[in-house]
């Protein structure tokens, strides 16, 4: 795993992300790039996968309509998707990659997708969280 962990670290540095936490033993890296709306993004190197997760919002009173809207918007996300935690109230952005074939372009595409999502859909997400 150390080889993949180092590879992912190098990609993150090359892309200009700031690491706020790192634990190689757990394969965990937390990064941010506030100019792209990315804060406390969790990157997990769990051979054979790279998991990328970003907390988006906590839903106050989730309804079937709110879930439907999230699912419909998730279809528009280029890389990754909206997911829910086990409570069904926390909305996360999540994407996974195969570590064996991971390259810089793939991980950059995931981060760009998230930044685009946050830039274009953030006001709608806030409205959904208040319903």
Helix (H) / strand (E) containing 59: none
What residue numbers bound the domain in which 120 lies?
2-130
Give per-residue pLDDT as tens, 11-42.
999 999 999 999 999 999 999 998 887 899 99
Q: How many other CB atoms are there within 10 angstroms of residue 80's CB atom?
A: 21
| Distances, alpha carbon 56 to alpha carbons 45, 79, 95, 114, in Å | 21, 16, 14, 10
Instruction: State the DSSP string of 26-40.
Output: TTEEEEEEGGGTEEE
Q: Has residue 2 got a pLDDT over 60?
A: no
> Total domain count for the chain?
1
pTM above 0.85, yes or no: yes
The CATH number that applies at residue 19 is: 3.30.1460.10
Quickly state the pLDDT bin for 130 (edges 50, 70, 90).
confident
Distance, CA of 76 to CA of 57 (rounded, Å):
18
Q: Provide the pLDDT for residue 58.
A: 94
């Amino acid at each position: 795993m150390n080889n993949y962990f180092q590879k992912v670290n190098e990609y993150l540095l090359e892309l200009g992300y700031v690491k706020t936490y790192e634990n190689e033993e757990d394969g965990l890296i937390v990064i941010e790039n506030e100019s792209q709306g990315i804060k406390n993004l969790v990157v997990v190197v769990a051979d054979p996968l790279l998991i990328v997760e970003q907390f988006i919002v906590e839903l106050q009173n989730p309804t079937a309509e709110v879930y439907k809207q999230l699912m419909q918007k998730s279809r528009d996300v280029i890389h990754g998707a909206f997911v829910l935690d086990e409570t069904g109230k926390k909305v996360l952005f999540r994407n996974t990659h195969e570590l064996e074939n991971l390259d810089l372009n793939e991980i950059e595409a995931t981060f760009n997708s998230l930044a685009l999502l946050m830039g274009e859909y953030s006001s709608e997400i806030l409205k959904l969280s208040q319903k």
